[in-house]
Structures are given as structure tokens and as C-alpha cells.
Amino acid sequence: MSDSVDAVDSVREQAVVGAVPTGVFIGGGWRDATGGARLVVEDPSTGRPLAEVADATPDDGLAALDAAAAAQASWASTPPRVRGEVLRRTYELLTARVEDLALLMTLEMGKPVAESRAEVAYAAEFFRWFAEEAVRIDGRYTVNPNGGARLLVMRQPVGPCLLITPWNFPMAMGTRKLGPAIAAGCTMVCKPAELTPLSMLALAEILAEAGLPPGVLNVVTTSRAGDVTRPLLADRRLRKLSFTGSTAVGRQLIGLAADNVLRVSMELGGNAPFLVFEDADLEAAVEGAVIAKMRNVGEACTAANRFHVHESVADEFATRLAGRLGAMTVGRGTQEGVQVGPLVDGRQRAKVAELVDDATARGATALLGGRPLDGPGYFYAPTVLTDVPAGARMLREEVFGPVAPIVPFATEDEAVAAANDTEYGLVAYVYTTGLERALRVVERLETGMVGLNQGLVSNPAAPFGGVKHSGFGREGGREGIDEYLATKYVAVKLA
């Protein structure tokens, strides 16, 4: 592992970061925050400052909502094909600029650049998908059962939306909200995470270049998320909140949204169980486990949080998984070949360390790793833990790091009960070659998504979302646009 950046790389990095506009984006223009405050963005692989962006005030937030409200009527009446083509052009621009955008993302968030490329492609796919959905917003015409009237059902944009996004997928968590909102004809205020604002700022500039009219998207970056968003949530002009982040913050926001009776979508925390039955293809299960655990350095709400493995194959699975994770190259994500980058900040790393220390203090054994790595940046060693006792906090709490606890089970009932024994319900992974078992288990899992013999569920064509304390609403798929549409029924007299 090394934090040295050679001169050529450093010139390119500075150019990529320097090209990003750093103001608030309101009504189609870039400007400083009121009062001129800035917030510092760090490179998590070095802990050094990377850039400064505007630190918006509540007044800036309200100015962003003013712009969104002013643009709503004309955007709603813009032809669907025109709305879709803005998304399609943006998809093409993102695809053409993937290298610079991926480097930018890695610099602010830390993940390996190959994963950032994959995220830019994934983010862009939401725009391609919703470009195609914009022209498929339909309704229906029915005959009243008594024959005496007609029923028209139409779907219209909800109106101005507040979109709050997290740092772990700085672009894709934005495009899965922006894409359907733009397609549906909604205007927006977007507040990206303060740790990783640069990817969203770059995206806003590209959307403007692709022809998105002023005021349709407004972006405010701020270190005062609560202060800036609270007045918007209380404002009668706002019609919807879509949030991706922690369950704790989501719960507060649902409360604020209730006062203003807003439409709400919530993508919250996860605690994904990864079940490996005795009839699983073990090699495939290990391969899926590497993806489900190590994608995004484990910092994903879909990350496999705990591995429940049949007792007859648990040791073999643990040994093979430790072999795979131990062979992964850890380092600065900008270096080709690096597979594990740093965690996003010191707070996140301290939380991972705390959960591992809790498990080992209760008797878990570190088959691999189990500690932070020395040197600059927020690196944590890929870790596999066995003998993890039932009381360990990491079995209940979201780990958000490269740590795999393995717990054996004896029966299918025990496995399903363990999988469901959590407040969360986002995703579960199941490895078995038995068709009947697969269907039985999938039906009994209390989650919004299941990866069946597959370690990755994220797909712009699929409805992503959870149940229980993982939230409600769906992003992507045919369902994704429904969140941004209101149904209007018209009773038509026909004598």
C-alpha cells in the first residue's frame, strides 16, 4: 500500500477536480453560498483536502426551491419525448466521459477506479432506462359498470421534489432519483452528501449541457443538512421527499414529511443475510460472497452483512472466502489493480473497528484481518471472522466495511429464522441448487429483494427497495417512475 502519487497522476487528478463547478446550482446558474462559506472535501486515501465547495445556508435551500417551483409548470408541459431526450443525451455524455468521472469519484469516495467506472455506467443506465419510460406514462379509459359514465385515469408529475443522497454511490444514488423525476416532469432540489458532493456537481453541469432547462434541477451542497432541508420539508410548494441514507435520519425525515403530508420514498439501512445451504455450489457461493461483501469496500446497504452457512460446509466456505479476500490488493483506488480502497472517513473506520472488537471480545476468531491498516488514509484490512456468537453487535448492526462474519446453522428453518431476525429487510442472498428449497426460502424471507445464486441485485431495470426498517418505495424498473407520478381520475358524464 502506498500513498505516493506520481507527478503525472497528480496533474491529471488536479485537472479533473479543478474542472468541477463548486458553487450551488440554482435556476441554471452557479453561485457562491450566501455569506461565502465553503466546505472541504477530503481524499479518504490520504486524509488530505481535495477540494472546497459551497457550504449552502437555509436561504440557499429556499432559493433552490423557489427555482424548482418556478420551473415546475413548464417542465410538466414539456413533451415527454423532449424530457426523455435530455436523459438520453446525458447518458451518452456520461458514457463518453466515464474515465474522468470515475477518477473524480474515486478521489472523493475512495473506491477502486474500476468500481467507479462501473458506477458511472450503472448511474448512466438509469438515465437510459428512464429516457425510455418518459414516453410510456399512460393511463386508462373505462366504462362505468352501470354504463352511464366514463372513467379517465391520468398520471401527472407529483411536483417539486427534495432528493437527499448518500456518499457511498455518489452518482448512482442520484441518477436513480433524478432519472424518474426528470422523465415524469418533476422539478428538483438535490442535496448530495457532504463527504462526496463533486460527482453530483459534475452531473448537474452535464445535465445542463444536455439541455435540461434552468430550475428543473437545483443542487445545494452543505455541511448543515438538517438546517437546510427542514424549511423545504415544511414548505407547501414541496410535494415529495426521496431519501437514501441511514434509518436513523430517515425516521426523522419521515416525521417532518408527515407534518406537510409529503409523498415519501425511503431507501434506508440494510443487514443482508447471505445463506449458503449444504446443496449449494460452493465455488459459486464463494464467488458471490466476494461480490456481495467487497463491492464498494463493503460500504453498501446491499452488502452481505452476515454469512449463515450450513454447518457441514461452514469451515470450507470460511477457508475459501478468507483465501479470496486475503489475496485482494488494498491501496489507493486510483491505482489500476487495486481491489480494496479506504473507507470513506475516520468515523466510518472507527465504527467498523468497534464492531470487530466487540465480536472478538465476545469470542469470535479472526481467520483473516481484524484491524485497521497503518499509514495515511482510512484503510481497514479485509476480515473474515468465525465463531461469531449470537450476541455480537455486527450480526444486528450494519457493518459498512470489508468484514465477513460467518455463523453456522443446522436446518432450513433455523437459517430462515436467523435471516429474518433483524429490523431491516432490504436484500438477502441465497445459495442452493434445490429448486423447491429455493422457492420455499425466497418466499419466507422478509426482504424487498433476493439474490438467488447471485451476489449482486442492483439493476436499473429492476425495482430496488426494502421492507421493514429498510424503507419503502422502489427505485428503477417500471415501478421507479410511479414514485414521481400522481394519479388523477376524471368522472366523465355521458348521457
41 lines the binding site for ligand ADP (CB under 6 A): no
**Cβ distance to ligand ADP smaller for residue 105 or 164:** 164
Least Å from the CB of residue 109 to ligand ADP: 12
C-beta of residue 467 within 8 angstroms of C-beta of residue 303: no
**Cβ distance to ligand ADP smaller for residue 109 or 313:** 109
Please work out the total of residues on this chain that contact ligand ADP, with binding judged by CB under 6 A. 14
Out of 23, 61, 110, 245, the only residue in the binding site for ligand ADP (CB under 6 A) is 245
Site for ligand ADP in 252-271 (CB under 6 A): 252-253
C-beta of residue 312 within 8 angstroms of C-beta of residue 276: no
Residue 25 has phi, psi (to 5 degrees) of -110, 105
How many C-beta atoms lie closer than 10 Å to residue 132's C-beta? 13
User: In this chain, which stretch among 133-141, 199-207, 249-257, 385-393 interacts with ligand ADP, using CB under 6 A?
Assistant: 249-257
Least Å from the CB of residue 56 to ligand ADP: 11
Angle between helices 225-233 and 58-76 (to 10 degrees): 40
| Residue whose C-alpha cell is 456518499 | 167
User: In this chain, which stretch among 63-71, 248-256, 273-281, 426-434 interacts with ligand ADP, using CB under 6 A?
Assistant: 248-256
Out of 54, 69, 86, 193, the only residue in the binding site for ligand ADP (CB under 6 A) is 193
Query: Which residue type is seen at 61?
Result: G
**Cβ distance to ligand ADP smaller for residue 197 or 408:** 197
Least Å from the CB of residue 353 to ligand ADP: 16
Least Å from the CB of residue 193 to ligand ADP: 4
Give the residue closest to ligand ADP by C-beta. Answer: 245
454 lines the binding site for ligand ADP (CB under 6 A): no
Site for ligand ADP in 106-165 (CB under 6 A): 164-165
Site for ligand ADP in 59-78 (CB under 6 A): none
Least Å from the CB of residue 303 to ligand ADP: 12
Cα dist. 238→72, 174, 229, 367 in Å? 11, 18, 11, 51
423 is catalytic: no
Q: How far apart are CA 342 and CA 332, in angstroms?
A: 7
Least Å from the CB of residue 191 to ligand ADP: 6
Out of 32, 92, 100, 194, the only residue in the binding site for ligand ADP (CB under 6 A) is 194
**Cβ distance to ligand ADP smaller for residue 197 or 377:** 197
Q: Which residues pair with 428 in a beta bridge?
A: 450
| Residues across the chain | 495
Out of 62, 70, 249, 452, the only residue in the binding site for ligand ADP (CB under 6 A) is 249
Least Å from the CB of residue 252 to ligand ADP: 6
Catalytic annotation, pick one of 267, 412, 475, 483:
267
Catalytic annotation, pick one of 186, 301, 412, 483:
301
Q: How far apart are CA 262 and CA 440, in angstroms?
A: 37
Least Å from the CB of residue 2 to ligand ADP: 28
301 is catalytic: yes
Least Å from the CB of residue 398 to ligand ADP: 9
| Residue whose C-alpha cell is 470487530 | 356
Out of 34, 95, 156, 246, the only residue in the binding site for ligand ADP (CB under 6 A) is 246
On the 0-12 / 13-18 / 19+ scale of CB atoms within 10 A, 81 is exposed
**Cβ distance to ligand ADP smaller for residue 193 or 297:** 193
What mask, x for binding ligand ADP by CB under 6 A, covers residues 196 to 235?
-----------------------------xx--x------
**Cβ distance to ligand ADP smaller for residue 246 or 453:** 246
**Cβ distance to ligand ADP smaller for residue 88 or 240:** 240
C-beta of residue 80 within 8 angstroms of C-beta of residue 58: no
166 lines the binding site for ligand ADP (CB under 6 A): yes
**Cβ distance to ligand ADP smaller for residue 252 or 420:** 252
Residues of this chain that interact with ligand ADP (CB under 6 A) are: 164-166, 191, 193-194, 225-226, 229, 245-246, 249, 252-253
Q: Which residues are catalytic?
A: 267, 301
